[in-house]
Amino acid sequence: MNTQINVRFQEKILSTAKTYAEEHGFSTVQEFIKEIVREKLFDEPEISKEELALVRKLAEISEKKNLYGTEEELFKKLRRK
């Protein structure tokens, strides 16, 4: 069972969290915050080391073949649904 909670942030903190979440591929600031809590409590990121290695390899190949251009362009493409 999931329980919903409400958290209040100063506007500057929320704005910065939203920007960070967008720039790092989180679909929402809530997803970003949940990931932070998981890492702090369990010291386990949402993706495994093996998955991260695959992502890094994909990024290396994509960069070598110039498949996405800049990092910003890549994140824009990843955010599209």
Give residue-wise pLDDT tens across range 25-54: 888 999 999 988 888 888 766 677 778 788
Half-sphere exposure at residue 80, Cβ-oriented, CA atoms within 13 angstroms: 5
Sign of the C-alpha dihedral, residues 49, 50, 53, 58?
Answer: negative
68 contacts 62 by C-beta, under 8 angstroms: yes
DSSP state of 31: H
Mark whether 57 and 81 lie in a shared domain. yes
What domain count does the chain have? Answer: 2
In a domain, residue 72? The reply is yes
Query: Residue 64 domain-assigned?
Result: yes
Give the residue with greater pLDDT, 29 vs 80. Answer: 29
Q: Are residues 39 and 57 in the same domain?
A: no
CB 29, CB 17: distance < 8 Å: yes
Print the domain residue range for 53: 47-81
Side chain identity, residue 34: K
Q: Are residues 40 and 53 in the same domain?
A: no
Residues 42 and 15 occupy one common structural domain: yes
**Is there a domain that residue 51 lies in?**
yes
Question: Tens digit of pLDDT for each residue in 11-27?
Answer: 999 999 999 998 888 88
